[in-house]
Structure 1
Amino acid sequence: MREPDGGKTAILAEAGGIPGTDPALRRGTQAWTEWLIPGVGTTLGEITLLAAACSPYQQIEIGESAHFGRIFRLDGRVMSTEADAWIQHELMVAPMAATHGAPRSALVVGGGDGGSAFELLRIPTMREVVVAELDGEVVRLAREWLRGIHQGALDEPGDPRLSLAIGEGLGLMEAFARAGRQFDLIVYDLTEADDGSPAAALFSPHGLHTARRCLAPGGAMSLHLGPPLHRPETARRLLARLRHVFRHVAPLTTFVPAYGALWGIALASDALDIAAQPADKIAARLQQWQLEHKLRAYHAHLHPALFVHPRHVQAIFDSGSRPA
């Protein structure tokens, strides 16, 4: 067992290995704990480990619990669960897609569980979705175990609009930029932006500038800010970098039960003021796309509310105003 270090370092405790553990955890299940900050964490209990692999890049685990269903974890960080992955995936895709109005191409950087790809493929104007995933082993395990998250988006044979590019995300984006290949939407569906993450370079100023080069005129991108109340400096740093690169940056928050915290997401664009879109325009778009009754989290009247925050949260977001 490792001591909490302020990152999302996880403890994988064998059932019954901790004094006072609930008796229900002593039947071969596990408890997974992530530390948001020292002394504050989230534990998902009664997990049955279904699959695990150690790739050249990371430790991959698929678990299952009665409450969360299938659970996808990388290096001790819960990425997504069947019970609530749709919350983050809808909010990373639908607000910017509906504001754009007619996105035809999208790039998912990371996103090997297929959840973001599924949301993008639901948009009827979409003609191409590229998933640039570092680790082919993630995709293999997701195809086998996480259909409840990707909803068939990763199936083989599958939707001909979807293609996979296996490799380091920043290198793939640099190659796209050199070739002049651009996308209407970019989703950074990645591990968090700390120094120990394989994705850290993508959140650097160079990584964000490269993403901007890969955006078509009128395009937009989304990324995770993490838990702003627990790690305000991370949110400030990312917002400062985004505001140095993009004209419009709109942070939103939601609650993802598996993360156990208020969660931040940022939407960024040079052309689209996503936060300013009126609900009636969003409603018309979702109706046109026949998605208004299919989305489980996002809806037109929620759209403007996503970008209105309590003062203590807004103060964190407003303070991320200088490049870092």
Structure 2
Amino acid sequence: MNPERWLREPVRDDVVDLWPLHEVVHEERTPFQDVLVARTPLGTTLFCDQNPQSAELGQLAFHEAELVPALALAGERRRVLVIGCSEGVVPQIAARAGVEVVDHVDIDPDCVRICAEHLPYGFDADEVRRAEAGDGPIRLHYDDGARFVRDSAGTDRRYDVIVLDLPEEDEDSPHSALYQREFLTRCRDLLAPGGVVSTHVSRPHLSLPAADSVASFRRPWQAFGEVFATRAYFRSDEQPWAAIMLGRADAVADPVELMTEQLDALAYRPRTIDARTLRRAAGLPRALREPVPTA
């Protein structure tokens, strides 16, 4: 099947990915980004600023990886904060897991609307309207994630899980600050006792070898070690984008064992993660087990 056009996704200065777009479903410039929904070999796919955010085939594995290990590591599962995830899948999973309050923060209401209208997964238009009205466990806030976290510091908001579903780290973009120690510390301070922060790390640095690949992987792991007493790792074997780092403020002797024990007690039954998957996917790669070399 010949593509209607090709999308060029910059990965590094010397590498691009070419995505065949068999059909462009919707294309729009919002006040925040270029949003494109198209049919690709991975099904209906969402691109923001030429960067793939999720695809029909594989999106569930990615979104479960962002949330399920964090729910299994957390002490409680009453309140969850999701920053990003315009598609709405992570808030939906949290609600199905019995979470009482899901605060969903996304900066771009137009992108949320486009996803609800055109993606065959995540929110539909009626779910968006209910979440905007706070009718049900999901409460949708259109705000900058960093500002929402900062403004929450002086309130009684505390979360058992915070999921950061962010665009890929980019030194030239303002959202790169959301990968740094200062923001992670602000998130940690919003956690209830036993609470967990979960974020995914940049896909290109993991899938393509480069001189700085190991360093770019170690950098967020080191930041988590500086901010959290407990850190854990999960890398899906079904979804190459799903490399997740987790932090818990208090010390847990064996976080993998705790996640494995609590997984079966979750009200939500994940389709892509079971106990064997979790144990295997939580094993640290050698680059994270070795001491960071000093200059």
Calculate the TM-score normalised by the size of structure 1.
Answer: 0.79
Structure 1 contact 106–185 (Cα < 8 Å) conserved: yes
* Structure 1 residues 11-57: Cα deviation after superposition (integer angstroms, max 9, x where no partner): xxxxxxxxxxxx712xxx12224343354444332431111221222
- The percentage of aligned residue pairs carrying the same residue is 22
Conserved in 2, the CA contact under 8 Å of 1:32 and 1:44?
yes
Q: Return the match for 2:65 from 66, 91, 98.
A: 91
Q: Is it true that 1:186 corresponds to 2:162 in the alignment?
A: yes
Q: Distance in 2 between matches of 1:283 and 1:277?
A: 8
Q: For residues 179 and 100 of structure 1, do their structure 2 counterparts lie closer, same or farther at Cα, with a shift above 3 Å needed? A: same
Query: Residues of 2 paired with 1:266 and 1:196: CA distance?
Result: 22
Q: Does the C-alpha gap of structure 1 residues 275 and 70 become closer, same or farther in structure 2, counting only changes over 3 Å? A: same
8 Å CA contact retained: 2:199, 2:246: yes
Partner of 1:175: 151
Report the Cα distance in structure 1 between the residues aligned to 2:124 and 2:117, rounded to whole angstroms: 12
- Unpaired runs of 5+ in structure 1? 1-22
Q: Structure 2: 5+ residue runs without aligned partners?
A: none
| Amino acid in structure 2 at the alignment position of 1:225 | V
* Residue equivalent to 2:194: 218
Equivalences, count: 283
Identify which of 265, 270, 283 aligns with 1:285: 265
Does the 8 Å contact 1:239/1:321 carry over to 2?
no
Contact 1:236 1:319 in 2 (8 A): no
Contact 1:184 1:218 in 2 (8 A): yes
Query: What SS is found at the alignment partner of 2:130?
Result: coil
Higher relative contact order (CA 8 A, sep 6+): 2
Closer/same/farther in 2, CA of residues 136 and 317 from structure 1, 3 Å limit: farther
Among candidates 26, 30, 50, match of residue 25 of structure 2: 50
| Aligned 8 A contact 1:251 1:317 in 2 | no
Match of 1:275 among 224, 231, 256: 256
- Aligned match of 2:228: 246
The CA deviation at 1:240 is 1.3
Match of 1:75 among 49, 56, 60: 49
In the TM superposition, residue 308 of structure 1 has moved relative to its aligned partner by 1.6
Pairing of 1:1-324 with structure 2 (within 5 A): 24-25=2-3, 29-65=4-40, 67-100=41-74, 102-124=76-98, 126-150=99-123, 154-157=127-130, 160-227=136-203, 228-229=205-206, 230=208, 231-255=213-237, 261=240, 263-271=242-250, 272=252, 273-277=254-258, 279=260, 281-286=261-266, 289=267, 291-292=268-269, 295-309=270-284, 313-316=285-288, 318-319=290-291
> For the aligned residues, what is the CA RMSD?
2.5
Normalising by structure 2, what TM-score? Answer: 0.86
> Aligned letter for 1:267?
L
Does the C-alpha gap of structure 1 residues 153 and 48 become closer, same or farther in structure 2, counting only changes over 3 Å? same
